[in-house]
Amino acid sequence: MEQTSDRSNPIHLLLVGLIHREAHLITIGGGATSDFGGFVASCLLRGISWSVVPTTLLSMVDACIGGKVAINSKFGKNLIGNFYKPSNIFIIQDFLKTLPESEMISGFGEVIKYCFLDKDIFEKVQQEDVNKIDIIKMCASYKNELVEKDFNEKNLRQILNLGHTFGHAIEVIYRIPHGEAVMWGMFVIFKLFNEDQFIDALKFFRLKLEIVEDKPPWLHKTFPGDKMMELIAKDKKKKKSDEINLVRIRKIGDPFIDNIRFDKLLELIKQKEYEFKTSTL
């Protein structure tokens, strides 16, 4: 059977001459859209310029900033990609008015991460009347500053992965939104290392940002430690075949990288299985 040509296919456009070195790609959408659009821009003709218009809270505070562009594979999340910065980022606040509650929860799950990383954001969220637009701007500015210092994520930028090691696994296993999964990923880290003070702070941020979900997706079920470790072993943050960089917190505004062996991490998970099964936030 003869196949019909898809005229919107980038390769088709390239062949007919509509994509050239001066072409400019614009992506409008959430994080997955900007990741994919940026990846396409980075590959076409070894790289054409591109811009992004984020339409979700999660993308505004995270995905659209930093030039990480990638696609998923059956082996893991964002394993195929590049570092390729957009020429422009256009943040239009009116898009926030169009978002369902689940999208706002996902975005604020990522915002909580910044509350632990930066003391100024932490103090801003503690104010009685929180201006959420100001919080969004502060998160975006904080990430942009880190990216400028460490674009290829060799050292300092790695702290932005707080909550993501377990968060990505939780996202895959339970099919929940990314930001919500990151929140529970932080919960797992704090629980593993007996950091109750950070769990209390996590609960405070959840309530302050009006995230209603206080029950982890595994509550009253077997905690999927083995499955999580299987996914973590494929994580792009893996330092060696038996070790991963795990982002932790000494105190608010003072994150650090803990190089931890997989067998040690699994041992900690096994020790905490019952607590995970019964704990809420």
Catalytic residue status for 68: yes
Choice among 113, 178, 191, 248 that is catalytic: 178
Choice among 77, 103, 113, 153 that is catalytic: 153
Catalytic residue status for 168: yes
Catalytic residue status for 164: yes
**What is the C-alpha separation between 179 and 241, in angstroms, rounded?**
27
Catalytic residue status for 220: no
CB 59 within 8 A of CB 47: no
Choice among 77, 113, 157, 191 that is catalytic: 157
Q: SS3 for 222?
A: coil
CB 159 within 8 A of CB 147: no
**What is the C-alpha separation between 72 and 55, in angstroms, rounded?**
21
DSSP-derived secondary structure letter, 267: H
Choice among 77, 103, 113, 168 that is catalytic: 168
Catalytic residue status for 46: yes
Choice among 77, 113, 143, 206 that is catalytic: 143
Choice among 77, 113, 161, 171 that is catalytic: 161
**What is the C-alpha separation between 131 and 142, in angstroms, rounded?**
17
DSSP-derived secondary structure letter, 14: H
Catalytic residue status for 110: yes
Choice among 103, 110, 171, 180 that is catalytic: 110
Catalytic residue status for 21: no
Choice among 77, 103, 113, 164 that is catalytic: 164
Catalytic residue status for 178: yes
CB 188 within 8 A of CB 115: no
H or E element that contains 59 = none
Choice among 46, 74, 220, 250 that is catalytic: 46
Query: Any idea which residues carry the catalytic annotation?
Result: 46, 68, 110, 143, 153, 157, 161, 164, 168, 178
